[in-house]
């Protein structure tokens, strides 16, 4: 995947293993690079910043919960998926999908079954 870049591999593995709890600064510290250099390396090899990568992972976790058919309580879902509060969750959901979470949930049966596919707004 990221051959020759063990620092980036370490970061991706950390973010994938614990997207809700991994802190970017903690992972950067583990690499031994400065935060700025670590983020530059990550962006070069992944195509997005560490912050955006973690936001996308949290959003994907929410979509997975919805498509798994679990009972949804937005506050619990937001906290379980790594958001600090419901406002940040709603902001990210709308930024990535173009719709609010309640509208998505009300209509998700009409959407494709793959949780990364969203309707165009």
**Coil vs helix vs strand at 118:** coil
pLDDT in tens, 24-50: 888 888 888 888 888 999 999 999 999
Domain, as residue range, for 93:
56-110
Given a cut of 80, is residue 107 above it in pLDDT? no
Residue 112: strand, helix, or coil:
coil
pLDDT band, very low/low/confident/very high, at 2 (cuts 50, 70, 90): very low
Same domain (yes/no): 74, 100: yes
Longest dimension (CA), the chain: 47
Mean pLDDT (the chain) is 81
Q: How far apart are CA 10 and CA 8, in angstroms?
A: 5
Average pLDDT over residues 20-24: 64
CA distance 89 to 74: 9
Same domain, 97 and 63: yes
Residues 60 and 102 in one domain: yes
Asked whether residue 38 is domain-assigned, the answer is: yes
d(C-alpha 6, C-alpha 91), whole Å: 33
Reported as a single tens digit per residue, the pLDDT across 65-77 is 887 777 788 999 9
Q: Give which of 3, 117, 1 is closest to 64, Cα–Cα.
A: 117
Predicted TM-score of the model (pTM):
0.80
Q: In this structure, are 39 and 63 located in the same domain? A: no
């Amino acid at each position: 995947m990221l051959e020759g870049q063990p620092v980036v591999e370490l970061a991706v593995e950390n973010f994938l293993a614990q997207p809700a709890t991994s802190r970017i600064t903690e992972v950067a510290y583990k690499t031994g690079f400065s935060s700025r250099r670590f983020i530059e390396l990550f962006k070069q090899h992944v195509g997005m910043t560490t912050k955006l990568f973690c936001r996308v992972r949290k959003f994907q976790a929410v979509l997975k919960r919805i498509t798994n058919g679990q009972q949804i309580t937005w506050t619990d879902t937001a906290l379980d998926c790594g958001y600090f509060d419901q406002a940040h969750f709603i902001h990210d959901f709308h930024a990535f999908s173009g719709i609010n979470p309640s509208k998505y949930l009300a209509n998700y049966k009409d959407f494709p079954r793959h949780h990364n596919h969203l309707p165009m707004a």
